[in-house]
């Protein structure tokens, strides 16, 4: 019993300083970005971009107005496009296509900065996510039915923007103050859980249990816990653990690369798709494209790594 309590205590005390450092790094990037995008939305500057993007979005079955929601998702979380969608008159087919794009490309500026800390090229990841969001849209535009019953939208909530700049800052301060608390609690909880799993040798069991699934996806069993964290709580929080694992040398560079690109396309499977489910979009259609393309992308990377290794060996 004494040994058990010592492990629990050590797991707790070890998580505190690491969580504080990581949470502060995330917060100091996220808050200025959130404020900047919020001001762009308040002053209605984002809609100017829709005029230029309208022709492109029409090719994938979306209106020019829908591009505003997608642009906002690139800078912040999926809550922003949900708010914008609520003020647009979109058919369900458009909401599904837009949802699939947003769950792939949401919050990219911040999340690419996070993945840079794990050793991946942020510009390449940004490009890949942007490209695959449009590939997913093209895929859905081809396979989704166009009948009237399918297109019937179920979402009619009206979004009310802040009336004054003071209202905007009050709303922003409250929502982001709560977000900061949430970030700190989640990151500490994850690092505490990580220590518990490692100190009680549960990670090894988890890796073995998920090994068959990980192999199908082209990922290493060593990254099972990190993959699971990314699926449940998202890339930002999952990367906090990933950064820690890399510093400790727990996973190799090639394993990290494959996991990074998989999570870049496919993460936060609970929160993000459910936001679009809440406005009537089917979970299956919003989530399916990024599952398919994340696995496809990883196997392309595996093939590229093998070719590179073979070429290096010949040299």
**pLDDT class for 161, splitting at 50, 70, 90?**
low
The least confident of 144-148, 173-177, 277-281, 307-311 is 144-148
In 3D space, the residue among 284, 273, 197, 191 whose CA is nearest the CA of residue 231 turns out to be 273
**pLDDT tens figures, 121-144:** 999 999 999 999 999 999 999 998
Average pLDDT over residues 181-192: 79
Percent of the chain's residues with pLDDT above 90: 21
The least confident of 18-27, 124-133, 186-195, 235-244 is 235-244
**pLDDT class for 150, splitting at 50, 70, 90?**
low
The whole-model pTM stands at 0.77
pLDDT of the residue at 237: 67
Higher-pLDDT residue of 292, 161: 292
């Amino acid at each position: 019993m004494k040994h058990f309590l010592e492990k629990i205590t050590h797991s707790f005390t070890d998580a505190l300083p690491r969580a504080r450092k990581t949470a502060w790094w995330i917060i100091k990037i996220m808050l200025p970005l959130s404020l900047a995008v919020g001001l762009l939305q308040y002053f209605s500057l984002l809609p100017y971009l829709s005029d230029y993007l309208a022709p492109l979005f029409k090719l994938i079955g979306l209106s020019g107005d829908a591009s505003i929601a997608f642009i906002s998702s690139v800078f912040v979380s999926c809550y922003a496009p949900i708010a914008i969608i609520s003020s647009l008159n979109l058919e369900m087919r458009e909401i599904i296509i837009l949802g699939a794009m947003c769950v792939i490309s949401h919050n990219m500026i911040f999340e690419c900065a996070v993945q840079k800390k794990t050793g991946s090229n942020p510009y390449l990841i940004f490009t890949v996510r942007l490209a695959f969001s449009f590939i997913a849209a093209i895929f859905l535009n081809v396979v989704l039915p166009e009948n009237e019953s399918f297109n019937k939208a179920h979402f009619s909530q009206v979004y009310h923007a802040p009336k004054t700049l003071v209202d905007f800052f009050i709303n922003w301060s409250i929502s982001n103050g709560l977000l900061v608390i949430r970030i700190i609690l989640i990151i500490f909880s994850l690092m505490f859980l990580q220590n518990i799993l490692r100190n009680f040798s549960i990670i090894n069991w988890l890796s073995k249990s998920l090994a068959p699934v990980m192999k199908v996806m082209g990922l290493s069993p060593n990254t099972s816990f990190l993959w699971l964290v990314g699926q449940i709580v998202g890339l930002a929080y999952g990367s906090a653990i990933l950064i820690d694992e890399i510093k400790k040398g727990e996973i190799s560079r090639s394993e990290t690369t494959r996991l990074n690109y998989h999570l870049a396309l496919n993460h936060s499977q609970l929160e993000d798709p459910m936001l679009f489910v809440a406005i009537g979009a089917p979970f299956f259609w919003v989530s399916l494209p990024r599952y398919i393309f994340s696995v496809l992308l990883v196997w392309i990377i595996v093939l590229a790594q093998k070719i590179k290794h073979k070429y290096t060996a010949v040299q």
